[in-house]
Structure 1
């Protein structure tokens, strides 16, 4: 992640509250996440002191942008500390997104005759809400008699070399 250092006081920003009200807050930082941008804003508030007095305060919270944050006309946000995600690697761009990890067991009773099948977690044939098996447990299950590895999702192609040895991949 890259971070822009703070170069001054926070800048004003409009925050949209859950009930639709808008108020001006102070923007402290921005952060890019895999799910989008988050902005750390300071909302004006009051708090009670220990001696029973009331004083101005600020409540800081991370909110989603642009859903909950709007710019103030004429304000520059160039100097706001900003954390950005690193650019995607060339390998990830070529290969695309990774498959979710884990394996799912479809028991014989779920599919009628034909045995029990081990699927990758994202297989369209995998049962919904089945317990997720880590690789080690999936390998143990795959070695049991009567277990078939799904060829639709690639479970067979991915687990067979580990179970039977990588020298058999080339057909030998």
Structure 2
């Protein structure tokens, strides 16, 4: 197996590779020093392209030293050699997931749900304020309310909806319905 032609090939670095045990021959797992050519990040972890020492037959019947290149999973089958700096190894990282236009415009999603901040009696007509859970004015540790619970609390005349965090903009259309939208 050879590395892809489009990536630069630097001098390989030594790396220890764990060879599998062979129960048929009663051989334990062994380690050999191989050459690390490149590494690639995948969804399931890291793969390392290593060159294992090998031999190859020649046409004239002779044998010569060769290298067998294979991708192995790290760290399961690859271990560093003490004192070697692997920063120079060609490394392919997973590409960043593209950011959607919606996410760019709106930013990160806030946590789902709402929280109710109870206000002590005697401080005005409102006895509670509904907030988004990440609102600066939301009480810490308050239980999260689902849509149905939040709408029930919002319908209470003693509850107002926070305009700072957008709770009012989210819940008001659900409370008053969407009847004001026309087909025109």
Contact 1:31–1:84 (8 Å) recurs in 2: no
C-alpha offsets along residues 61-108 of structure 1, whole Å, 9 cap, x if unaligned? Answer: xxxxxxxxx961542224xxx543421112222222222221011112
Normalised to the residue count of structure 1, the TM-score between the two structures is 0.51
- 1:92 to 1:12, Cα distance in 2 relative to 1, 3 A: farther
1:76 to 87, 90, 101: 90
Say which SS state the counterpart of residue 150 (structure 2) adopts: helix
- Please report the RMSD computed on the Cα atoms of aligned residues, expressed in angstroms: 4.1
- 1:12 to 1:29, Cα distance in 2 relative to 1, 3 A: farther
- 1:71 to 1:135, Cα distance in 2 relative to 1, 3 A: farther
Question: How many residue pairs were aligned?
Answer: 118
Gaps of 5+ in 2: 5-13, 17-35, 49-73, 77-83
In the alignment, which residue of structure 2 is the partner of 1:20? none
- Tell me which of the two structures has the higher relative contact order, counting C-alpha pairs closer than 8 angstroms and 6 or more residues apart: 1
- 1:83 to 1:75, Cα distance in 2 relative to 1, 3 A: closer
In the alignment, which residue of structure 2 is the partner of 1:150? 162
In the alignment, which residue of structure 1 is the partner of 2:142? 130
Runs of 4+ in 1 over 3 A off after TM superposition: 26-29, 38-42, 82-85, 109-114, 167-170
The answer to whether 1:119 aligns with 2:131 is yes
Gaps of 5+ in 1: 1-6, 14-25, 33-37, 43-57, 61-69
Say which SS state the counterpart of residue 160 (structure 2) adopts: strand
In the alignment, which residue of structure 2 is the partner of 1:101? 112
Higher Cα Rg, which structure: 2
